[in-house]
Structure 1
Amino acid sequence: MAKVSLRSGWPAHVGVAVGYALLYLAVHPITTLNWPIHAGIRFACLLLFPYRFWPALLVGEALPNLYEVLPCLDSLGRNWVMVRSIPALVPIMPIVWWCREKMPPFPAKRLVDIKALIVCIVLCSVGGMLYSTLAYAMCRPFLAADADSVPLASIQFLLGPYVVILSVVPWLVMAKLDYRPGHFREQLRQTLSSKLFMDTIALLLPSIAILACLRTVVKDPFDQIASLAMFLPMAWLTLKHGWRAAAVSGTIAILCICLPLDVSDKLQTRAYESMVFVVIGVTCLFVLGARISAQLLQEEKERRSAMNVQRLARQTMQMGEQRMRQTSQALEYLAGTLHVTNSRLLEQMRRIVPNIESHAFYKQAMAAQTQIYQLAESMHPLTWRERGLPAALNDTVARALDEAGIAYRCEITGRGFTRLASPVLTVTYRAACEAITYVTSRLACSRVRLVLRGGETQGRRWVVIRVEGVLEDTGVANAVYFAEERKRLGTKLGASGLDISEMRDNVGIFDGALHLRSFKDRLRITALLHDASQEQEAQRAASHSAAPLRLWVK
């Protein structure tokens, strides 16, 4: 056990001892054989308090324990008083210490290992049972002849504390995991608006209340069926929300089934059956909830990892687009400079060579200048930069298709284009160019129709692209005539010649989808993209608000 300093912070130790003693005395009147609530308080204090406060807890239990035990010297005997004078905290302390050191229930600040917690609860319940059984064996000669035997009483001493610990400790664990100083109102608001709270109020409480009332009205064996039916909504809630749902529903089931049992010193057989049934059912729900929570945590990690990959892909795509735009502007500046230089040079050469326009040097210079302009236009159209996406789709794309001998029609409808994020507009243009390049790769494609529609649904902006190529056998001859221009169409549009799977991956970066449909006389590509900036802001806000609640289960 870690070294404990008793000299430092002695007021805190005194406060812990006094507070624990008062709490022990307060719960003693409501403690029964099947509901020993002090067992849950004892276990929770040892589990959550630092080691340095354990001596204070021991003192806080020893004094009220002696106050309650000494008056029973004449009625229960000296041996029982000697055993019961030892606080029940003593046999539990080494068990909790071993669990905290060897298989800690709290491996990290906001992480709880439910399996380790269940094992610790079972071991502490067994330790408490041995302690109580020994004390009961000491006083057995002083009891009536019809009193429970020692083995039968040991079952009571095991089930009662286990049920109480199982119903009290998870709530304290949840409070430990969720507590953030100075954010009580915010946490309370999040709890009341959580799906677990709403499902508990709307489904769990009404169903268990109805079944509990039915259990008290009907006779055997239908009351056992009603008890069994209580676990159906509990299991559904656990499958949906994990171990926290098991903690909430398990406590409610324990209160409805165990508290109404006979609280006399001698429990009946049916009471034993009910308690065993509750213990097994709630424990299984906790184990199942731990597995479900682990799966939910893994899914959350995978989702966040996918979000990070998406964000990185968007940033990479946007940075590449910015480089292309800068390169296009640099090429345009170079072409302009080359044009001015060539003009001055040609003016000087005209004095020497009158017909310089027909010379090969002049043609090569003009061709080089034109190629630079075309390269700059293919990388990032000037129309796009100056007049936006609709102008680029109507002018730049139309001019490239017209030069290739393909009829083109562009329809832009909807609203919200001006509010779309820049990366979305970029991917929209590139996806349209890739889709046009793909459908025009068919020789029979003679006409292309592009439909662009933007909109907003429940505050979420989106854009739909539909590229449809009309396939006509009569257009093959025209395609052969413009074969060279059709080959250069992808270069003019700045397309990379992606296939359908690659285009679908690009669209998927923005939570979109792409579909290809082939008809007898046409080929259609449809793509849907969402505004990534809005999604990132919403997800960032949700992850920030849920940050302290993420790591619950190992």
Structure 2
Amino acid sequence: MGKRWWTNDWLLQVAVAVGYGLLYLAIHPFSTSHWPIHAGVRLACLLLLPYRYWPALLIGEAVPNGYEVIQCLDSLGPAWVAIRSIPPFAVAMPIVWACRTWMPPFPSKNLVDIKALLICGLLVSGSGMVYSTIAHAVEKNPTTPFAMTSAVGFFLGPYLAILSVVPWVLMAKLDYRETHLREQLRQILASRLFLDTVALVVPAFAVLTWMSEIGNDQVKQIAPIAMFLPMAWLTLKHGWRAAAVAAPLAIACISIPIPILDDFESKTFATQTFLAIGVSCLFALGGRISVQLVQEEIDRNSTLSVQRLARQSLQLSEQRMRQTSQALEYLAGTLHITNGRLLDQMRRIVPNIESHAFYKQAISTQNQVYRLAESMHPVAWRERGLPAALNETVARALDEAGIAYRCEINGRGFTRLAPAVLTATYRTACEAVVYVTSRLACTRVNVVLRGGETHGKRWVVLRVEGVLEETGVASAVYHSGERKRLAAKLGASMLDIPEMRDHVGIFDGALHVRMPSDRLQITALLHDAMQEEQRPELRPAPPLRLWVK
């Protein structure tokens, strides 16, 4: 098979030249002296296309430019035609080449130097000002005398056009992903930047443009300045992309109504100067904000990764404790069977073996193994879930310590919570119970557990309340031994409040402590992270980094 046409270098060069020439002719009717759109298109092509296409671009602009210039031979003179026959593309080429060589606006594929981009636009606009000023100076029978404001106008118009076109082309280049156009379009339409622009910025610009058309002189001066308020708000919220979206809209709203005159009025000069300075500052500010937003996103992803790792570590530790508990239960059962057989044999030799120290030691060892297994991972929790562990394991430990206990469980969704959340809830309950019972005046513990779901996200709230009564100090002293063993029975690590708060924070939760007159309350909120972890991960575009020095 023959080569496809886009693999042939000569045909590709011809296609680039013809395409750019047609684009130049298409946008020419919309370009004015105070907003030459082709200046922005020219710089975008020079920045984004490889050097090998520059000759084709130069030819593509030289042909239509020469055709338009030659028609002005009689009115503007041969000197003007000779200078204007040089395509503006040729004037901008060496400057853009120098910028791409020594101060590249795109140091790498996903790195944008906003400062270099603005400087390149300023230099190209400055070269265009010199070019247009020389042509204006040799003009035959000029309709207006040359003035400094005219030279500045030759600078401001192209610079505003560059700020209007280049950012949009840049965003299209950075966001383009082959074979994902439909998905990218859907993401753009659903993005907060698009919604804020359509819902707030566009209506605000429309109202201010209408006011500048029908209002008096004061309103016409205030309306263009007021357009920077929604632009600044959008930039502060979304970064440089917001400035890239809003700035062309503001420039168009202000530039299009300006009448096309040969002279450069003072009002037009002031408006364009304000636009150029304001938009440049917003781009620099937006670049800095974008850097901060990217760093915040990196930090947030890092935090989520740490939380996910902590949840996995917590669940793995719980599984090991469960396996160890089962092994200890098996060992205790084996000791029970072995001791029973051994005692049956020893009863024939030693009468009343039950009162012997050996028998008591064997029974004590067996019970200690059972208690250790129960403290590591209660049987009620393992077999019947979190409600059973709170109603049985915690209740038995507090009853042995002489503390009244009441547990209230309501809500829904406990069976659908992630195992790690249930584990964290039970461990938090045990730590909170040990903390409130460390007060000697604590005579009663009330536990309230509630589960629910809000906006598709499941959560659980745990409140542990210790009732403090001075009359219970004597009972606490009497049961001081059992109170000291309460942490070991519940498998608690005796965490303090900051440590419990960190433990709850692994599940995007919060922990609060309240101390009314006769009570000590600890409330913990935990969110289920299973939905986030099971959500299919999209393949995001490579992160865009921004240099703003």
* TM-score by shorter chain over 0.5: yes
**Is structure 2 residue 415 aligned with structure 1 residue 418?**
yes
Structure 1 position 551, deviation (Å): 2.5
Q: What pairs up with 1:525-544 in 2 under 5 angstroms?
A: 525-537=522-534, 541=537, 544=538
Match of residue 177, structure 2, among 175, 180, 183? 180
Q: Give the structure 1 partner of residue 50 of structure 2.
A: 50
Partners of 1:159 and 1:91 in 2: how far apart? Answer: 17
SS at match of 1:112: strand
Partners of 1:519 and 1:262 in 2: how far apart? Answer: 73
**Is structure 2 residue 484 aligned with structure 1 residue 491?**
no
Partners of 2:353 and 2:333 in 1: how far apart? Answer: 21
Q: Give the structure 1 partner of residue 367 of structure 2.
A: 370
**Is structure 2 residue 24 aligned with structure 1 residue 24?**
yes
Counterpart of 1:551 in structure 2: which amino acid?
L
Q: Give the structure 2 partner of residue 241 of structure 1.
A: 238
Structure 1 position 264, deviation (Å): 2.4
Structure 1 position 267, deviation (Å): 2.1
Q: Does structure 1 conserve the Cα–Cα contact (< 8 Å) formed by 2:149 and 2:269?
A: no
Match of residue 143, structure 1, among 141, 144, 149? 141
Post-superposition Cα deviations, 1:169-217, rounded to whole Å, max 9, x if no partner, equal 1111111122122222222222222222222222222222121111112
1:537/1:130 Cα in 2 relative to 1: closer, same or farther (>3 Å)? farther
Structure 1 position 7, deviation (Å): 10
1:281/1:368 Cα in 2 relative to 1: closer, same or farther (>3 Å)? same
Structure 1 position 284, deviation (Å): 1.9
Structure 1 position 224, deviation (Å): 0.3
Q: What pairs up with 1:85-234 in 2 under 5 angstroms?
A: 85-137=85-137, 139-140=138-139, 142-144=140-142, 146-149=143-146, 151-234=148-231
**Is structure 2 residue 278 aligned with structure 1 residue 285?**
no
Partners of 2:127 and 2:424 in 1: how far apart? Answer: 66
Partners of 1:20 and 1:215 in 2: how far apart? Answer: 36
Q: Give the structure 2 partner of residue 3 of structure 1.
A: none
Q: Does structure 2 conserve the Cα–Cα contact (< 8 Å) formed by 1:470 and 1:521?
A: yes
Q: Does structure 1 conserve the Cα–Cα contact (< 8 Å) formed by 2:149 and 2:264?
A: no
Partners of 2:479 and 2:7 in 1: how far apart? Answer: 95
Partners of 2:436 and 2:368 in 1: how far apart? Answer: 26
Counterpart of 2:492 in structure 1: which amino acid?
A
Structure 1 position 515, deviation (Å): 0.8
Structure 1 position 113, deviation (Å): 2.9
Q: Give the structure 1 partner of residue 15 of structure 2.
A: 15
Partners of 2:126 and 2:330 in 1: how far apart? Answer: 84
Q: Does structure 1 conserve the Cα–Cα contact (< 8 Å) formed by 2:418 and 2:529?
A: yes
Q: Does structure 1 conserve the Cα–Cα contact (< 8 Å) formed by 2:451 and 2:461?
A: yes
Partners of 2:527 and 2:407 in 1: how far apart? Answer: 21
Counterpart of 1:60 in structure 2: which amino acid?
G
Q: Give the structure 2 partner of residue 502 of structure 1.
A: 499
Counterpart of 2:99 in structure 1: which amino acid?
C
**Is structure 2 residue 330 aligned with structure 1 residue 333?**
yes
For structure 2, list consecutive stretches of 5 or more residues without a partner in the other structure.
1-5
Match of residue 429, structure 1, among 426, 430, 439? 426
Q: Percent of aligned positions with the same letter in both sequences? A: 65
Partners of 1:246 and 1:72 in 2: how far apart? Answer: 39
Counterpart of 1:47 in structure 2: which amino acid?
L
Structure 1 position 131, deviation (Å): 2.3
**Is structure 2 residue 514 aligned with structure 1 residue 521?**
no
Structure 1 position 74, deviation (Å): 4.9
Counterpart of 2:141 in structure 1: which amino acid?
L
Post-superposition Cα deviations, 1:404-459, rounded to whole Å, max 9, x if no partner, equal 11111111111110010100000000000000000011111111111111111121
Structure 1 position 335, deviation (Å): 1.5
**Is structure 2 residue 343 aligned with structure 1 residue 346?**
yes
Q: Does structure 2 conserve the Cα–Cα contact (< 8 Å) formed by 1:446 and 1:469?
A: yes
Q: Does structure 2 conserve the Cα–Cα contact (< 8 Å) formed by 1:389 and 1:425?
A: yes
Q: Does structure 1 conserve the Cα–Cα contact (< 8 Å) formed by 2:150 and 2:264?
A: no
Moved more, 289-298 or 147-156: 147-156
Partners of 1:304 and 1:498 in 2: how far apart? Answer: 28
Partners of 1:150 and 1:83 in 2: how far apart? Answer: 20
Partners of 2:529 and 2:464 in 1: how far apart? Answer: 22
Q: Does structure 1 conserve the Cα–Cα contact (< 8 Å) formed by 2:354 and 2:360?
A: yes
Partners of 1:440 and 1:520 in 2: how far apart? Answer: 16
Partners of 1:435 and 1:225 in 2: how far apart? Answer: 62
1:366/1:102 Cα in 2 relative to 1: closer, same or farther (>3 Å)? farther
Structure 1 position 537, deviation (Å): 4.3
1:341/1:97 Cα in 2 relative to 1: closer, same or farther (>3 Å)? farther
Q: Give the structure 2 partner of residue 548 of structure 1.
A: 541
Partners of 1:467 and 1:323 in 2: how far apart? Answer: 27
Match of residue 292, structure 2, among 274, 277, 295? 295
**Is structure 2 residue 426 aligned with structure 1 residue 457?**
no
SS at match of 1:221: helix
Q: Does structure 2 conserve the Cα–Cα contact (< 8 Å) formed by 1:444 and 1:473?
A: yes
Structure 1 position 552, deviation (Å): 5.8
Post-superposition Cα deviations, 1:495-542, rounded to whole Å, max 9, x if no partner, equal 00000000000001101111111122211111111101124445x65x
SS at match of 2:112: coil
Structure 1 position 549, deviation (Å): 7.8
- After superposition, the CA RMSD in angstroms is 2.1
SS at match of 1:353: coil
Match of residue 273, structure 1, among 261, 270, 273? 270
Structure 1 position 150, deviation (Å): 5.9
Counterpart of 1:277 in structure 2: which amino acid?
F
The number of aligned residues is 542
Structure 1 position 85, deviation (Å): 3.0
Q: Does structure 2 conserve the Cα–Cα contact (< 8 Å) formed by 1:111 and 1:177?
A: no
Counterpart of 2:248 in structure 1: which amino acid?
T
Partners of 2:125 and 2:166 in 1: how far apart? Answer: 13
SS at match of 1:470: strand
Q: Does structure 2 conserve the Cα–Cα contact (< 8 Å) formed by 1:381 and 1:392?
A: yes
Q: Does structure 2 conserve the Cα–Cα contact (< 8 Å) formed by 1:177 and 1:552?
A: no
Partners of 1:311 and 1:344 in 2: how far apart? Answer: 49
SS at match of 2:460: strand
Post-superposition Cα deviations, 1:374-406, rounded to whole Å, max 9, x if no partner, equal 111101111111111111111111111111111
Q: Does structure 2 conserve the Cα–Cα contact (< 8 Å) formed by 1:163 and 1:279?
A: yes
SS at match of 1:516: strand
Q: Give the structure 2 partner of residue 441 of structure 1.
A: 438
Partners of 1:112 and 1:419 in 2: how far apart? Answer: 46
Q: Give the structure 1 partner of residue 3 of structure 2.
A: none
Partners of 2:100 and 2:485 in 1: how far apart? Answer: 71
SS at match of 2:217: coil
Partners of 2:266 and 2:514 in 1: how far apart? Answer: 70
Q: Does structure 2 conserve the Cα–Cα contact (< 8 Å) formed by 1:378 and 1:494?
A: yes
Moved more, 435-444 or 17-26: 17-26
SS at match of 1:335: helix
Please report the TM-score for the alignment, with normalisation by the length of structure 1: 0.93
Partners of 1:214 and 1:105 in 2: how far apart? Answer: 38
Please report the TM-score for the alignment, with normalisation by the length of structure 2: 0.94
Partners of 1:275 and 1:16 in 2: how far apart? Answer: 33
